[in-house]
Structure 1
Amino acid sequence: MVAVKAADADGALARLDPRVAVVLLYGPDTGLVAERARRVARAAVTDPEDPFQLVKLDGDGIAGDPGRLADEAGTVAMFGGRRSVWVRPTSKNLAPAVEAVLAIPGSDALVVVEAGDLAKTSPLRAVCEKAPRALAIPCYADEGRNLSQVVDDALREAGLAIDRDTRTLLVESLGGDRLATRSELDKLVLYCHGRGSVGAADLEAVLSDVSGLQASVVTDAAFAGAVRQADEALRRLRLEGTSASGILSPLLGHATTLLPLALDVAAGSPPASAVDGWRGLHFKRKPLVTRHLALWTPDLLRRLVARIQDTVLATRRSADLADALTERLVVDIARTAAQRAGR
């Protein structure tokens, strides 16, 4: 039985036992799942560009034909050496296909499976955690030491220095998803190329859109009860051509992210402390989100999530009313927050 702890994931992958036939990578951070799967699948073969050594399969196809994965795993490489079979994500059950691979004695192929956030009761996760020739590795959003290490490695490789305060701001602005973090760090490195160091102004210039800040102006104003500011920001976005979905999606995402934090606040945690648990929140938004948590209770947020979802559905059914429905929702959110604030 090999269920690896999240903190030990990178070490386990770096010291992968050659007897391991299946590596399952799962968790809510799909970017980290994909990054690790790519690294492991490519490292298992001598030439990752050779399609006979590294075989990429679609998870849906494997679920529909479970025997295919075992056939690929049992195939001998044309010119010798180990083969790697990389299975991309699917919502369908891959447990039967993986069980068939583990039943092959002495298979020289490594099967790498990407999956989503699997519950402990998931058949696929259960199979891999119980099998001695499989590894089940969780992938959670970078935080704390892990995120700091990702940042430090990227800047060191680029030859860029960074002071402690700026580094703290950078780390606090990242971490929601590994691929998103890599993308933002790549932009920062490119922006600062040839300069030797990274400053706070560079973060302001490059990371200003990490959390979709343009649309979040409407979100932040509405949830804070600033009715006029929310309405003005909404009108500016419309003039710039932002669709109703481009406004409703951030509203829904913000409400659903606030809900667990609001539950923490209801249990006695100060709003500022609860906000610290939001990885990937842009540093400029922290004071605003802290204020949101002081105004929105879990019950209010649950009702709001349902209201936003209803509005999204209504805009899809009546596209000609999308702008009016979106404006009504934004104003209602802002008025509710304003009443809570006593304005």
Structure 2
Amino acid sequence: MVAVKPNEADTLLSRIDPARPVVLLFGPDAGLVAERAAKAAATALAGNTDPFALVRLDGDAISADPARLADEAYTIGMFGGRRVIRVRVGGRNITAAVEPLLASPPADTLILLEAGDLKRGQGLRELVERSPRGLAIACYADAGRDLDRLIDEELRAADLAIDREARELLVSLLGSDRLASRGEVRKLALYAHGQGRVTIEDVEAIVGDASATGFDEAIDTAFAGDAATSDAATARLVGAGTSPQALLAAAIRAAVQLHRWRLAIEGGASVRNVVEGARPPVHFRRKPLIERALEAWSADGLSAAVIDLGKAAAEARKQSALAEAICSRALLSLATNAARRRRRS
């Protein structure tokens, strides 16, 4: 088994080894999973004019008919050349469909499996990681360094530089979904086209808070004890097509971060100093909610919240048909717990 380091992932996908034609892209950042799959497919099909060279399959359909994936993988293209199969992995197990391809890989087909967050040592992830003919790449939410790289990549392509203060604000505004963040930076580049540099005024004028307008509203208000706002935000997200599993994964990350900050507070730091000193910076619109959450919760309480959210995430993966209800219930429970803690404090 070869462990893929985060900084090696994009390089590996730009020159995929033909001896490893089964590639599993997984993790909580659905945007990054989709972006990497699209780039890998485009690289593999460069110069191929066959309109049928790219095939998209649904994981749940494959689970019901495991032979379908092999049928597609071993099919020879009408005009020859490489083929790519992109599989959107859902809540059902597709290991039975993938095993034959790892045992006897197709000669000229790349199989891209796009999944959510998968546990180490289980199911599809274990199958691909253990195989010498597979490649498993984790796609985690962008951290500050990743966002800096994304900003540089997009602005360089637009022949733009960026002021230091503008960069810091932009990083604080971007969310944890790669596709959403890239879209915001491209929008900024179009706005600043021809002026040479991006200023803080440009960022303030154009870039919406891609994080706060997404997951953060539902999650921050839950930890702050505002059940009504959290529930409404959750309903909007899911109604717009957001994966409940992805929202739960984001809630777990938020709980872990709050736990780190709360430990610093219990070690003697003030709530205000912890929030002001956060890196990457906390967006100013989020600060009041984060401070309320840190005042309400103890470190032990946040540890318990991480465990409870983890259980909810596991349940949502097992029962995908009930994932929306499971997610809503978990966040509502958080908000109720936080409100109770605030009343006691």
TM-score, structure 2 as length reference: 0.73
Tell me the secondary structure at the aligned position of residue 149 of structure 1.
Answer: helix
For 1:321, the equivalent position in structure 2 comes to none
Pair 1:260 & 2:256 matched: yes
Structure 1 residues 109 and 222: CA distance shift in structure 2, 3 A? closer
> How far did residue 134 of structure 1 move?
0.9
The structural deviation recorded for 1:219 is 9.1
Partner of 1:64: 64
Tell me the percent identity: 43
Taking a change above 3 Å as real, the CA distance of residues 141 and 195 of structure 1, as seen in their structure-2 partners, is same
- In the alignment, structure 1 residue 210 sits paired with structure 2 residue 207: no
- 2:40 corresponds in structure 1 to 40
CA distance in 2, matches of 1:151, 1:30: 19
SS at match of 1:267: helix
Q: How far did residue 289 of structure 1 move?
A: 4.8
8 Å Cα contact 1:24-1:115 kept in structure 2: yes
> Does 2:150 align with 1:150?
yes
Distance 2:13 2:289 in 1: 37
Q: CA deviation at 1:300?
A: 6.3
**Partners of 1:140 and 1:7 in 2: CA distance:** 12
2:107 counterpart SS class: coil
Q: Distance in 2 between matches of 1:117 and 1:91?
A: 11
How far, CA to CA, are the matches of 2:188 and 2:43 in structure 1? 28
Shift in Å at residue 127 of structure 1? 1.1
Q: Deviations over 1:314-334 (max 9, x none)?
A: xx9xxxxxxxxx9xx999978
Give, as a single letter, the amino acid of the residue that structure 2 aligns with 1:108: D
- AA partner of residue 264 (structure 1): R
Q: How does 1:94-133 map to 2 (within 5 A)?
A: 94-104=94-104, 107-133=107-133
Q: Which is higher, the Rg of structure 1 or of structure 2?
A: 1
Structure 1: unaligned runs, 5 residues or longer: 235-241, 317-325
String of CA shifts for 1:152-206, please: whole Å, max 9, x gaps. Answer: 1111111222111211221222241101111211221222233332221222222
Aligned residues: 306
Equivalent-residue separation in structure 1 for 2:336 and 2:90 (angstroms) = 39
Q: Is contact 1:275–1:289 with CA below 8 Å preserved after alignment?
A: no
With over 3 angstroms needed to count, the CA separation of the structure-2 counterparts of 1:247 and 1:110, relative to structure 1, is closer
Find the residue that maps to 1:24 and give its secondary structure: strand
Contact 2:44 2:84 in 1 (8 A): yes
The change in CA–CA distance for 1:336 and 1:123 in structure 2 (over 3 A counts) is closer
Aligned letter for 2:60? D
What amino acid does structure 2 have at the position aligned with 1:259?
A
Shift of 1:297: 1.0
What is aligned with 1:245? 232
Matches of 1:331 and 1:129 in 2, distance apart? 40
| CA pair 274-126 structure 1, distance change in 2 beyond 3 A | farther
Deviation at 1:125, TM superposition (A): 0.8
CA contact (8 A) 1:67 1:97 kept: yes
Please give the secondary structure, in 2, of the residue aligned with 1:137: strand
Distance 1:21 1:221 in 2: 44
- In structure 1, C-alpha distance between the alignment counterparts of 2:230 and 2:142, rounded to whole Å: 31
Q: How far off its partner does 1:243 sit?
A: 11
| Distance (whole Å) between structure 2 residues aligned to residue 83 and residue 215 of structure 1 | 36
Aligned to 1:166: 166
Deviation at 1:103, TM superposition (A): 2.2
Write the distance in 1 (CA, Å) between the matches of 2:5 and 2:119.
15
Q: Label 1:116 to 1:291 Cα distance change in 2 as closer, same or farther (>3 A).
A: same
Tell me how far 1:9 sits from its aligned partner. 0.8
Partner SS, residue 142 of structure 1:
coil
Structure 2: which 5+ residue stretches go unaligned?
238-246, 313-323
TM-score using structure 1 length: 0.73
Instruction: Describe the shift of the 1:168–1:65 C-alpha distance in structure 2 as closer, same or farther (beyond 3 A).
Output: same
